[in-house]
Chains A and B, each alone.
Chain A
Amino acid sequence: MAELTERPFPPGAYPLVVVGSGPGALQLTYTLRGMGIDHAVISQDDAPGGMFRKWPIFQRMLSWTKPFAEQKRGSREYERYDWNSMLGEEQDTRAIMPTVMDGTSYFPSRPEMERGLATFAQRTGLQVRHGCRWEATRRLEGGDLVLETSDGEYRAPTIVFAVGVSQPWRPPVLDLEGVEQYGDLRPAETYRDRRVFIVGKQNSGFEIASGLLPWARQIVLASPSPAQLSVQTHSLVGVRARYVQPYEDYALAGGVVILDASIEKVERDRDVFHVTTKSAHEDHPRHFVADDVIAATGFTCPLLDLPEIGVATFGQSRLPAQTPFWRSVSIDGVYFAGTIMQGSQGLRKHGIPSNSGAVQGYRYNARVLARHLAETRFGKPRQRRAIKPDEVIPLLLAEASRGPELWHQRSYLARVVSLDRAEGIFDEGILPLAHFVDDSDGPDAVAITLESNGQDPPYPTAYIRRRGQTLHERSLQPPDILLEYDGPAYARELAAALEPVLDQALTRVTP
């Protein structure tokens, strides 16, 4: 690719630096460039989407791209069905993924995902300084940050880290020579006729188990609490449907054991491991003999020295704690993009997290972040569109029915309409819901989201803010089985909810 030879963005001072070249970084730099924001992009990888050359280990993504859908391919509404494409403005930069998939599965393979990203980068002419490894970070008096890289130093007041949540993590009990880790497994056939003990019952553990079903003699999947299944949680929380096969083998006594127990001890005796487990429901420990022990116990962020310069982190993944606009809560000028954005948790309504850990979620975050950076760090006012009073309710309900941002980021991203009596009514676009409900300086406004409660189909919820306070929320019920929310019944309900902030005449609904 051209940028490999031209090596753009030499070390030096920039207004903004993006670190990374995965989907999060590409979406961000594309959107920033479209806004005319001068910035540099550096990445240690040799080409876009370096992670997809390693993971997922059994080849296919967990995210769909449905080649055929109700909505026209390439339209904004089609994005609901295409979880993997980057979001371009020009037609040939939209819905790229279905054009690079061979049709054998609607879950893209790793090479297909990598090809989709490379195609987007090539068609948009995005520039990245590849082969430039971030190695250390300093803060200068005055607030600027300095990145020490393999190519030299970059100085900027604003840096966005899009470096993934990609370092496999294992608990001390598994810190033993010979214990393998997600990401460095041997070829599947080398587990032929072996007893495999997998620690961890999330998607990575079940992915490994599914991949080894044709090979292993016995598979034990163990962790203290029961696995959740996405088909039960009605969300991306839990093991995805395509990795549930080990459960059926367990239920049908097919050589798979699924165990709710903590790992007390792992010892190696020549060619075998002895694993001791303890369950909260049994009086005595259990002992297993295994030929292989595999840690599928999660991932952490490769933040290097950011915690030492004051970036607060939390949870096993050491995610940086972030504001609703993905800035470190503790260090000004440090922002995050890509899967790390899940550290900005939002409202977690009904306990359901955002989809910011996945492409279909963080690609929208990236656009919101770009607009926010342009507004707050570069003094470029956010574009907003004046709308007429009788457009408010149809707009909000159309967004709830077909807006991809709301579908992919439920109770997290919202479509906002401000209702300032002095200035008028404006479509403010997509904003983080957490920002909207806590924005005590904001004008009267309404935000609409889609909400999932873990049981019912998703339903729209409107948040009405008046005089800086969130007056109330109104869920439009009952959920529609066909997921269409722009009918007259929902319009009447929303109109009633908006009464405090809109004149009755303005909320009149044509049945």
Chain B
Amino acid sequence: MEVRPDVVDILSGFALFADMSTPELENIVQTFGEVYFAEGERVVRQGLTATGFYVVLDGGANIVVGGKERGNLRPGDFFGEISCLLGEPPTADVVATKPLRCLVLAPHALEEFLVANPHVMYRVLQGEARKLRTTTKWLS
């Protein structure tokens, strides 16, 4: 599904795309699709393959593992990258907590996208580093 024109403005405010020029953002907007989920709808399903890489535009969602809430997602957050990068099913559900609008990229397209946009790759790595730090703190 093609994305709305206002998405370029929304993306320009996200840390993930902070290093991108306007033409680069317009390219990104056409590379991704736009998807919408109603409150309570599952975006990603634990154990089901081939979902995608998502960036939250509007709304919110919970990360649910085995029926337990493990975190939440807000505009600017991204999810699904681990499943895409490893080619494995997601280990959590993502459930919309209010009407949720996201950009989505097909799993097989993520590698090409990140390699072509190294600044975004760096920002994704920062995000992964934060998740790892949180997990390490939790384990210790």
Contacts and interface: CB of A to CB of B under 8 A. Distances in A.
Interface of A: 171-172, 223-225, 260-262, 278-280, 298, 312, 314-317, 319, 321, 323, 329-330, 342, 345, 347-353, 437-438, 451, 453-455, 463, 470-473
B35 A262 contact: no
Contacts of A350: 50, 106-108
Given A224-B26, A262-B23, A280-B23, A171 B5 contact: yes
A298 B51 CA distance: 25
B35 A224 contact: no
A314 B36 contact: yes
A473 B49 contact: yes
Contacts, number: 113
Given A351-B109, A352-B106, A315 B4 contact: yes
26 contacts: A225-B27, A225-B30, A261-B23, A262-B22, A262-B27, A312-B99, A314-B101, A315-B33, A316-B1, A316-B34, A323-B38, A329-B36, A329-B38, A330-B99, A345-B1, A348-B51, A349-B49, A350-B107, A351-B50, A351-B106, A351-B107, A351-B109, A438-B42, A454-B108, A472-B47, A473-B49
A452 to B, nearest CB: 10
Contacts of B34: 314-316
B105 A351 contact: yes
A345 B106 CA distance: 14
Contacts of B22: 262
A451 B49 CA distance: 11
A316 B36 CA distance: 12
Contacts of A315: 1-4, 33-34, 36
Given A316-B2, A350-B108, A351-B106, A345 B35 contact: yes
A193 B130 CA distance: 59
Contacts of A453: 50, 108
A474 B36 CA distance: 27
A131 B35 CA distance: 35
Q: Which of A171, A262, A454, A473 has the most CB of B within 10 A?
A: A262
Interface residues of B, number: 37
Nearest to B99: A312
A470 B45 contact: yes
Contacts of A470: 45, 47-48
A82 B21 CA distance: 46
Contacts of B30: 223-225
A396 B53 CA distance: 31
B26 to A, nearest CB: 4
Interface string B75-105: 0000000000000000000000001010011
B24 interface: yes
A437 B26 CA distance: 35
B2 A348 contact: no
B31 interface: yes
B56 interface: no
Contacts of B50: 349-351, 451, 453
A349 B99 CA distance: 21
Contacts of A471: 47
B1 A224 contact: no
B4 A316 contact: yes
B1 A317 contact: yes
A336 to B, nearest CB: 14
Contacts of B35: 314, 345, 348
Contacts of B27: 224-225, 260, 262, 280
Nearest to A285: B23
Contact of B104 (A225, A280, A351): A351
Interface string B5-43: 100000000000000011110110111011111100110
Contacts of B60: none
Contact of B23 (A279, A323, A437, A463): A279
Contact of A351 (B5, B24, B45, B108): B108
Contacts of A438: 41-42, 45
B84 to A, nearest CB: 10
B77 to A, nearest CB: 18
Contacts of A224: 23, 26-27, 29-30
Given A330-B99, A353-B1, 15 more contacts: A224-B27, A280-B27, A312-B99, A314-B36, A315-B1, A316-B34, A317-B1, A329-B99, A345-B1, A348-B33, A351-B105, A351-B107, A351-B109, A470-B47, A470-B48
A298 B26 CA distance: 16
Contacts of B48: 347, 437, 463, 470, 473
B123 to A, nearest CB: 17
Contacts of A319: 1
Contacts of B51: 347-349
